[in-house]
Every structure is written in C-alpha cells, then in structure tokens.
C-alpha cells in the first residue's frame, strides 16, 4: 500500500483514507469520476497534495487488479 494511504479501524470506519486526514480515497475518486480535475480536489480539500490524489488513483488501480472472485447469494 502507498505511504500516503492508510487503513485504520478507528478512523472513518476503517475505510482507506489519505494519511493524516479524514479524507477517504472514495471521496477523492468520487470527485474525479464526476469529472472534476485534480485541482478541483485540491481546492475542496486544501490539506491534500497532488501526490495524495495520484496515490488514491493508484490504490484503486491495484484494488481493481486483484484477482479474486466473490460469489453473491441470489
């Protein structure tokens, strides 16, 4: 995992967050998927740095590349 991303069960219910903040990776990705740019994310969350946004994207990429199958009950 990136040195910029952390998972702590005591913070944000254990969701991946940007280290030292309460900004979740999910929040960063939501901005980007809505069409906002990196500068928009940084403007909305001034404590973040460009590298934090890039680390969030890399975290999501690695997560999506994981090779596991989950069967859902129907």
Would you place residue 42 in the very low, low, confident or very high pLDDT band (cuts 50, 70, 90)? very high
Residues 3-41: tens digit of each pLDDT: 999 999 999 999 999 999 999 999 999 999 999 999 999
Question: Which domains are present in the chain?
Answer: 5-65 (1.10.10.10)
Catalogue the E-assigned strands of the chain: 5-6, 17-18
Q: Is the pLDDT of residue 1 over 70?
A: no
Q: Which residues of 39-52 are buried (b: 16+ CB within 10 A; e: fewer)?
A: eebbeebeebeeeb
């Amino acid at each position: 995992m990136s040195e910029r991303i952390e998972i702590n069960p005591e913070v944000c219910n254990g969701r991946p967050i940007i280290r030292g903040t309460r900004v979740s990776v999910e929040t960063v990705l939501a901005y980007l998927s809505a069409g906002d740019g990196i500068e928009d994310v940084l403007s909305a969350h001034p404590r973040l740095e460009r590298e934090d946004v890039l680390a969030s994207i890399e975290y999501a990429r690695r997560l999506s590349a994981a090779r596991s199958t989950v069967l859902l009950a129907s």
